[in-house]
Amino acid sequence: MSVHKYIAKVMKTTMESTPGQTEFYQAVEEVLSTLEPILKAEPKYDQYNILERIVIPERQILFRVTWMDDANKIQTNIGYRVQFNSAIGPYKGGLRFHQNVNLGIIKFLGFEQIFKNSLTGLAIGGGKGGSNFNPKGKSDGEIMRFCQSFMIELSKHIGETRDVPAGDIGVGGREIGYMFGEYKRVTGNFEGILTGKGINWGGSLTRTEATGFGSVYFAENILNKQNDSLKDKVATVSGSGNVAIYTIQKLYDMNAKPVTCSDSRGMIYDKNGINLDTLKLIKEIQRSSLEEYILIHKDATYLPIHKYPQGANAVWAVPCDIAFPSATQNELNLKDMKNLYKNGCKLVCEGANMPTTPEAIEFMLEKKMLFGPAKAANAGGVATSQLEMSQNASMQKWSFAEVDGKLRKIMKSIFDLSYETSKEFEHEGNLMIGANIAGFKKVADSMIDQGAV
Ligand code: NDP
């Protein structure tokens, strides 16, 4: 069977056997379509049914989460943990609490995580989980009771050598704390079963900053290859959560100027550069809307989401040299990419998972814009999570500078591996192809070594 037909057959079976999982199909299609060169060169992957196997999670757990709200009413949500692939190590991947979460979204994220984790060069498999719980507007007590109930079930399925979840959208230090506390209460064990823990109880310095910092390091590597750098570049950033905030912070360290940020209600444009202290105050401490930014910074403008131009994201209409989509999936479409291109943007570096639609990616590559794909560019978070696991296992504590140094090296090695692989398979500079093939190869070869499992 030709490689093209092999991929089409796996795509068709996936769609027929798991109906309605749109985002998951998008993620699978994106990976499989870039594997053609290696599948052609290595027929063993077809022979060992690797594609058929790799698109099916080893295990998916779906559970009921009941909790009491402040009015003493019982509330119900659905919890998920998809343990996708453990060929190269224990499952690792975040938990997302957001009202849109469904099995298809968790599967897309878990599938991507397999290749991302492989690319880091560390021994971690791929998984993802979460719930359709909406943390917005909930009291601290409600968040705690939800997290405790969620962990009572999750605790049966995780473990230091089995599955180590972390944060994602809607899950930060506070939620990890409540879940860790509950795990300890249920099992009686103080174990490194989550990453993103507090510094006083097993967390790693730099873990909070790692995804954003890593994304900026990755962009710097791409530019360095072109004999360029981030210095004096204008950047647009979307989102205002964990990834966006530390992308903005690191951009300043690299002498670039981030001029936008956004949340689910609107966006800020500040031509003077986003004020990091104000952003942290609003989002990390007050947990409120970005609209408040313009009360302090009169030169900045706020555009609510209902005033965005039809079918486009206003963040990507702001002229920039580099764009860092760092909020959520499919937040940068073809129209947005055309806006970026028209305004002279030369690089899109993905902090979020799958933020760019397939049509936008196609246009960007056609126009020879530079691209830092999520699997490589945002791998700094999970890589640092693994560093947290190493510190837990060896009972050591490394300094901020030590972890940051390791993170920087890992991002450079991910870039080098992706670049070299793109070259080896005759698509030099196409980091999407390079990252997907390099991530796939290690996992697929390990699956072959381990037999029919
Ligand atoms: P956070 O919850 O900290 O922040 C998410 C941000 O995105 C918030 O500003 C939120 O707005 C905004 N947002 C969420 N949904 C939408 C939407 N539909 N439209 C517009 N804005 C939206 O999450 P993270 O920063 O941790 O995650 C951001 C992205 O990065 C996700 O794709 C995640 O999977 C990815 N990622 C995260 C890693 C990590 O270590 N945290 C690691 C690798 C990838 P609001 O404030 O209004 O909620």
CATH of the domain at 149: 3.40.50.10860
* Same domain (yes/no): 215, 175: no
Please tell me whether residues 237 and 177 are part of one structural domain: no
- Whole-number Å distance, alpha carbon 181 to ligand 1 midpoint, is 24
**CA 292–ligand 1 middle distance (angstroms):** 19
Residues 20, 161, single domain; the answer is yes
Residue 247 lies in a domain: yes
**Residues 20-47: tens digit of each pLDDT:** 999 999 999 999 999 999 999 999 999 9
Q: Which pLDDT value is given to residue 69?
A: 98
Q: Whose CA is nearest to atom 11 of ligand 1?
A: 263
Active site residue 128: yes
To 5 degrees, how large is the angle CA 74–CA 78–CA 84? 155
Residue located nearest, by CA, to atom 17 of ligand 1: 264
The residue to which tokens 């691209």 are assigned: 371
Whole-angstrom distance, CA of residue 336 vs CA of residue 341: 9
Task: List, in sequence order, every residue forming a beta bridge with 322; answer none if it has no partner.
Answer: 235, 347
Count of structural domains within the chain: 2
Out of 342, 368, 394, a domain closes at 368
- Token duo for residue 17: 């056997």
Whether 102 is covered by a domain: the verdict is: yes
- What is the distance in A from the centroid of ligand 1 to the CA of 265? 13
Domain end: 163, 191, 219, which one?
191
Residues 306-333 have a mean pLDDT of 98
CATH of the domain at 294: 3.40.50.720
Residues 168 and 282 in one domain: no
| Cα-to-centroid distance, 243 and ligand 1 (Å) | 7
pLDDT band, very low/low/confident/very high, at 433 (cuts 50, 70, 90) = very high
Most informative mutation of 108, 112, 169 for ligand 1 (most atoms within 8 A of CB): 169
Residues 254 and 350 in one domain: yes
Amino acid 1: pLDDT: 79
% residues pLDDT > 70 (the chain): 100
Does 7 lie in the same domain as 146? Answer: yes
Q: By alpha-carbon position, which residue is closest to atom 46 of ligand 1?
A: 263
Residues 170 and 65 in one domain: yes
The model carries a pTM of: 0.96
Q: How far apart are CA 142 and CA 305, in angstroms?
A: 28
Q: Is residue 116 part of a domain?
A: yes
Domain boundary, last residue among 325, 350, 368: 368
Q: What DSSP element (H or E) covers 84?
A: strand 74-85
Residue-wise pLDDT for 191-243, tens only, equals: 999 999 999 999 999 999 999 999 999 999 999 999 999 999 999 999 999 99
pLDDT in tens, 119-152: 999 999 999 999 999 999 999 999 999 999 999 9
Of the candidates 128, 138, 233, 257, the residue annotated as catalytic is: 128
Give the domain extent around 290. 210-368
Residue 121 pLDDT: 95
Taking the centre of ligand 1 as the mean of its atom positions, its distance from the CA of residue 378, in whole angstroms, is 12
Q: Which of these, 289, 255, 257, lies nearest to 275 by C-alpha position?
A: 257
In the chain, the N- to C-terminal Cα span, in Å, equals 24
Q: Alpha carbon 318 to chain centroid distance?
A: 24
Nearest to 425 by CA among 3, 35, 37: 37
Position 28 in a domain: yes
Ligand 1 lining (C-beta closer than 6 Å): 167-170, 211, 239-244, 262-265, 326-328, 351-353, 378, 381
* 294 and 336 fall within a common domain: yes
